[in-house]
Structure 1
Amino acid sequence: MLTELREKMLLNTLVFETLGAPEKEREFKIKSLKKWGFDLLFGKKNGQDSYFVAAEDKHKSGDTYESEGSSYEVTEVLKELPKNKKIYAHIEMIEGRAYLCADLREGDENIEILRLPAGEILLAYLKKHKFIKVIEALHNLGSAASLVKHHGEEGKPLPFEELPPIPRRFLRDAKKIEKEMGFGRIALAYFGENKEGKARYWMGWMVPTIALFDEHIAQKIDKTLAEFK
């Protein structure tokens, strides 16, 4: 049964959307791999020349090791991308779980270098760079990530025209980020302030998961979330 309060929330929550599907993939630099906690290596995989990744600083030139049924011989720990090759990463859903997949690409040649659960990598990356507000708001991950933040007792949401400067600034900045990402959905129910003068609100924000692996975007989202205490 829909309560009176839930009906007020339903009818008065502000929603701003940048429609479309979350971006299919995003290009990254080799330094992004390092920030995610990986080195790009060149050597032999099962006896064949190949590129692959390993945990940062775990292996050096000349190392041999085995992992998940494959044998590896490290020739070089790369500091720069090989000429004409680029890194593209995307999110792939497998049985309800998001995986971060990265490919080293040159023309039609595509070498998969990474396929691991996205959540563990993302949390470690966000903690490393102290994007605490994103961590606190992160609710679940798919091809899009759900960010949720709330404070105080719920009530009837204020219309846009009555919003004070802080929620207005939040919406303005969030919409700019959405435009840059090409996808997003912001839902804001702002209820005013409590007796102590603190904001009461509920906010839900959907963003492309792969965009959170971009330090530039993650930093902007973290800063925008910080506008709400």
Structure 2
Amino acid sequence: MNRVSVSSAAAVFVKSLLVASLAFAGAAQAQHAAAPAAAKPDAAKGATLYDGGDNVRGLPACVSCHGANGNSSIAVNPKLSSQIEAYTHKQLVDFTTPNRQHPVMTTYAKMLTEEEKRNIAAYLATQKTKPGAAKNKDTVELGRKIYRGGIAEKGVAACASCHGAAGAGIPVQYPRLAGQQQDYTLAQLVSFKNGTRNNSPQMTALSQRMSEAEMKAVADYIAGLR
């Protein structure tokens, strides 16, 4: 009798576990199915926020620093037009973390919702970049050599291998550089080198192997890419 009772109890217990497991799996599948898909970025809303800001929140218009259509005319402020959408979004997110701190952008990025970050990134990706130009004729050849061929003796890879021969970048992975402000590009290379910008291990490693003269030369060359 005892053997029968124990066996019956064990069978009931196993059956209960099986039912509970199936119920849990079903609930998990239902929850997953019910999860809403991420909303598609709205470039029109991004344009409105970029051009007008939000006075209620004290959020200034992006255009005031980065120019109409993302074509900044201020040397230290980057051009944002034509930038790869995923890259712009990532930078706006990174500004809210210790990896990329900025006295202005960190404050404003924290004021933006995730949806707004994506909308602005989508808008800027559709805007055309006004061509820039290299300014220093004495270093343009050095800049060209570094951009296209790297610095083999220092283990510096060619910029073109990641950012493209014309500086158009590679979607999702690497940003567009073509036409970017010389002063801004140089400032970012310096920031990567000294560790104040820490959101790209590749760029941190490469910049630490470059001299200031090499950085200036490649930054100037990049400005003339189109």
Q: Which structure carries more relative contact order (alpha carbon 8 Å, separation 6+)? A: 1
The alignment's TM-score, normalised by the length of structure 1, stands at: 0.22
**Higher fraction of strand:** 1
Structure holding more helix per residue: 2
